[in-house]
């Protein structure tokens, strides 16, 4: 089984990413189940704006990300919170994923069917539940299955504060929730592999 984690931080590599650090807890838990996990930092790629799977122009990196999406049974979108909302990078990723709604497999199923997805959020301000709701809702629209408690987040309450990598407070809960998230993603992905959804009725 394969998983793809798309880190939607605004920080380019090799700058440390708080969001990627928390997502790594989920990655480790999935890897313990034998899942092959790949992490992509979207801001490092030249992803053009648009709502298509093919390249918008020469050099557009989205087609390679699209191929990885279709190769993975598990997807994790990881985003920081900015102004209480998902990052602009996360929004661009979701906009490009919009094209999945019109793509089907050989059996007429939307390509996101029988794949599971979850969300990781960090931020030094409140708004994590809103970010989780926005991203989870978009992924469900595309056809992904969102297991119960398929998310984890970290922040220290309302108002500005320290970053995840700068403060140990709250990490134990976020890590425990991240491990539960990984278990739920893996469990539902296995269930769908054993009894896959069919094409929607006409």
User: Residue 170 — left, alpha, or beta (φ > 0 → left; ψ -120 to 50 → alpha)?
Assistant: left
What pLDDT score was predicted for residue 161? 85
- In DSSP notation, 162-201 reads --GGG--TTHHHHHHHHHHHHHHHHHHHHHHHHS---PPP
**What residues have CB less than 8 Å from 139, skipping those under 6 apart?**
75, 77, 94, 97, 112, 117, 119, 146
Q: How many CA atoms lie within 13 A of 198 on its CB side?
A: 2
- What is the CA 139 to chain-centroid distance, rounded? 9
- pLDDT tens for each residue of 12-54: 999 999 999 999 999 999 999 999 999 999 999 999 999 999 9
**Contact between residue 122 and residue 153 where contact means Cβ atoms under 8 Å apart:** yes
**Contact between residue 46 and residue 90 where contact means Cβ atoms under 8 Å apart:** no
Indicate the pTM of the whole model. Answer: 0.97
What pLDDT score was predicted for residue 156? 86
- In DSSP notation, 30-65 reads HHHTT-EEEEEEGGGS---SSS-SS-SSTT--HHHH
**Contact between residue 27 and residue 17 where contact means Cβ atoms under 8 Å apart:** no
Give pLDDT < 50 ranges for the chain: none
What pLDDT score was predicted for residue 122? 96
* Structural tokens at position 181: 């998230």
**What residues have CB less than 8 Å from 106, skipping those under 6 apart?**
none
What pLDDT score was predicted for residue 148? 97
- Rounded to the nearest 10 degrees, the angle between the axes of helix 62-71 and helix 88-97 is 70
């Amino acid at each position: 089984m394969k998983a793809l984690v798309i880190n939607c931080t605004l920080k380019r590599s090799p700058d440390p990413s708080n969001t990627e650090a928390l997502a790594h807890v989920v990655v480790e838990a999935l890897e313990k189940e034998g899942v092959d996990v790949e992490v992509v930092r979207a801001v490092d790629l030249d992803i053009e704006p648009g709502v298509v799977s093919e390249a918008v122009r020469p050099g557009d990196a989205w087609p390679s990300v699209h191929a990885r999406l279709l190769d993975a049974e598990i997807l994790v979108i990881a985003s920081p919170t900015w102004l209480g909302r998902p990052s602009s990078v996360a929004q661009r990723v979701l906009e490009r994923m919009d094209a999945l709604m019109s793509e089907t497999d050989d059996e007429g199923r939307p390509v996101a069917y029988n794949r599971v997805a979850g969300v990781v959020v960090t931020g030094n301000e409140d708004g994590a539940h809103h970010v989780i709701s926005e991203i989870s809702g978009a992924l469900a629209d595309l056809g992904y299955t969102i297991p119960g408690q398929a998310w984890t987040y970290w922040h220290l309450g309302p108002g500005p504060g320290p970053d995840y990598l700068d403060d140990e407070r709250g990490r134990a809960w976020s890590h425990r929730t991240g491990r539960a998230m990984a278990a739920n993603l893996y469990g539902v992905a296995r269930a769908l592999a054993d009894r896959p959804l069919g094409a929607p009725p006409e």
